[in-house]
Chain A
Amino acid sequence: RKEVEQDPGPFNVPEGATVAFNCTYSNSASQSFFWYRQDCRKEPKLLMSVYSSGNEDGRFTAQLNRASQYISLLIRDSKLSDSATYLCVPTSGGSYIPTFGRGTSLIVHP
């Protein structure tokens, strides 16, 4: 099983829609989780950090399910500007290596 797995998509949704995608991780010792967004031909940028069961920031909500070892990202009221690739990064304490999933592509259309 890969360390981090994401559905590559693309998820194609209209403006205003709610969309969610999951990230599964194999390391049960993972403690903290991060979602990044990456625009085409740009560098990844941190979107959200999740240190407990979840986090919410405006239209974005991240939920952690430790029992099933996945973290989800929910985007409400999608905007055209949300079109990007969303990357999941689980981490564990101590010395570790940030391992990125391959990302989920989101396309929001008018």
Chain B
Amino acid sequence: NAGVTQTPKFQVLKTGQSMTLQCAQDMNHNSMYWYRQDPGMGLRLIYYSASEGTTDKGEVPNGYNVSRLNKREFSLRLESAAPSQTSVYFCASSEAQRAGELFFGEGSRLTVL
């Protein structure tokens, strides 16, 4: 009953450090997404992957890279973290034909000092 699993749940970084957020889903979904959520800003899409082997930019892609490693896994990388990237990051997945029905991971809380 895992659904969408994100790691790590919490992370503190110094400015300039790099890190990768991992996401895996066990529902055989084609589509996967990375969102960030900041107070008063709602959920903003960073990148998404409509299917294995494809990735596309969302609303706020600058400073991030992604990899759709296989159908199950979609990782988000911060190459050089900045304080503006302090946020809660959510990974989500959906079936291709029911794209509005998203299943979310529990979130990763990232602080960049």
Binding site for B on A (CB under 8 A): 8, 32-34, 36, 42-46, 49, 87, 89-91, 95-103
Contacts A44-B90, A87-B42, A102-B41 given: A96-B99 contact, CB under 8 Å? yes
Contacts beyond the supplied A8-B40, A32-B100: 10 A-B pairs with Cβ under 8 Å: A36-B102, A43-B106, A44-B104, A46-B102, A87-B43, A98-B33, A98-B99, A98-B100, A100-B43, A102-B42
**How far is A18 from B71 in the complex, measured between Cα atoms in Å?**
43
Contacts A43-B106, A43-B107, A44-B102 given: A98-B50 contact, CB under 8 Å? no
Contact count A vs B, C-beta below 8 Å:
51
Closest Cβ–Cβ distance, residue A43 to chain B (whole Å): 4
Decide yes or no whether B48 CB sits under 8 A from chain A: yes
Contacts of A100 in B (CB 8 A): 35, 42-43
Is there an interface contact between B48 and A45, defined as CB atoms closer than 8 Å? Answer: no
Q: Which of B14-63 contact A (CB under 8 A)?
A: 33, 35, 40-43, 45, 48, 50, 58-59
* B105: contacting residue among A43, A97, A101, CB under 8 A: A43
Contacts of A34 in B (CB 8 A): 100-101
Q: Which of B41, B42, B45 has the most CB of A within 10 A?
A: B42
Contacts of A49 in B (CB 8 A): 100-101
Interface residues in B, total, Cβ within 8 A: 22
What are 22 of the A-B contact pairs (CB < 8 Å)?
A8-B40, A32-B100, A33-B100, A34-B101, A43-B105, A44-B90, A44-B104, A46-B101, A46-B102, A46-B103, A87-B43, A90-B100, A91-B99, A91-B100, A95-B50, A97-B58, A98-B33, A98-B45, A98-B99, A98-B100, A99-B45, A100-B43
